Structure 1
Amino acid sequence: MKTETEHASHDCCAHHGSHHELVIDNLSVAYREIMALENVSMATSCGNRVALIGPNGAGKSTLLKAIAGLVPKASGEIRWRNESVKNWSREFAYLPQREEIDWSFPITVRGLVEMGRYPQTSWWKKFSKDDNRAVDEAIDSLNLGDLQNRQIRELSGGQQQRAFLARSLAQEAHVLLLDEPFTGLDRNAASLLGDLLAKLASEGRLIIASHHDMATAPVLFDEVLVINTQQVAFGSINEVLTSELISQTFSTPA
């Protein structure tokens, strides 16, 4: 029998509403004595694609890791569904930059996707029919059926990104935190990934991704948070991402 929280978890993608809102309130993150991120505030909800834009060292990766619970907050709050984000950690999936991943690790695509079920089952429990169903559906959804027995090192960059997104779907995550997902992809692979993220958002997931290409950002995302250690602006990408703001952000030291 499922708990009320588990029912709510499955309903998130089907029903958008204010209680499915991610709220960041005056967030600051420090690495020892160095302030990596300071006074960031924003609110967004299921169905949106949010770009994080700023120069190198602006705090984009730090923000993603803070939302995912991978780095501690110095101050401020992160809330999901009107509760501390740590209460919903299973609904968040984080995909680091590609260069941070050990692609030589001996695991198949299916094995990688199965890892998405571990937050639900733990490492030592046998997979149930529901677990196998979730893995199968994730693989099918991202058209990885023909690749599921391949080692991840044998995949192209676009295929590797799809495999990690399939892991997120198997996890039944509702918030996908992606660090530079388009970096290193050719034009065709980037286009396919953009279409996939649009599809996932249309199904009710919240996509938050760091991004560096100003030309493609308005096509790929609905909202934008511009940061340079401190928050510069947040809102609709077509309204916020002006040439003047870009020039100001990338030419002004943090």
Structure 2
Amino acid sequence: MVERIRNATYILKPPVPSVPNFKPSMSIADWLVVVQNYMKALQYNHTGTQFFEIKKSRPLCGLMETAREMIRESLPIKCLEAVILGVYLTNGLTSLERFPISFKTQFLGHCFHHVVLGVYCNGRYGSLGMSRRQDLMDKPLSYRTLGDLVGEFESSYKRYQHTIKKVKIGLYVPHDPHVFQPIEWKHLVLNVARLGAQEMRKELEKHGRDMRMKILKSSSAQSPVKERCRGKSLSPRRRQSSSPQRRVTRRDKSPAAVDRKPAELSTLNDAYQIRI
């Protein structure tokens, strides 16, 4: 049945948008317009079924493989998929920084979630993304501060009677598509209902300044394997020697091994127990 549908001559072939290619003569702002136009050509997915599985905890290299799959299939996408595709199409432009901006809004008692890809270059902010609403996706690279950019989204939401409940700002996404580090999606979480407009803008300005100075570090950058092994990979004898009841000097690593017989020390298990 699938082959009959694919090979049917009376069914028009769906148009496949051409993948944009960056040219050295292009400015960053021009390239962002090209990338956004490509995503618009893929169209927004109104089917209610997400065609591509996006796990936020997945490493960046795996998400980039999903972006390549999006390009191969050329199917309609939603906001989260647009963020991943936007990261993929802007990789290598080191003068352009990318970071996720997530919104939780409320309308008629129901909560809605939305995410766009914030961009920063030459002292100006903007965004890439996809949405059912034209003014809730891409923004030009013209906003002086991060607070101005978020405020523009807030104004857009008000036009649709949506109230913003929370805003989550991530960190810069690395330009190396092969890193095994996941994207930091919510380094700063702002509860709009509790914060006033002035306090919220102050927090956004501080976060934007810290990101520009590159002093923020991802909480997921540290290997979880190291975190799990810290304090847990010690052998039983080392844990015993480090207990508070019996302190041992650095020179006497395993005093209990002195009482052992030579035959016992020759076994593999005991050799592993007394390793330094």
TM-score of the two chains, using structure 1 as the length reference = 0.27
Higher relative contact order (CA 8 A, sep 6+): 1
**Structure whose residues are more often strand by fraction:** 1
**Structure whose residues are more often helix by fraction:** 1
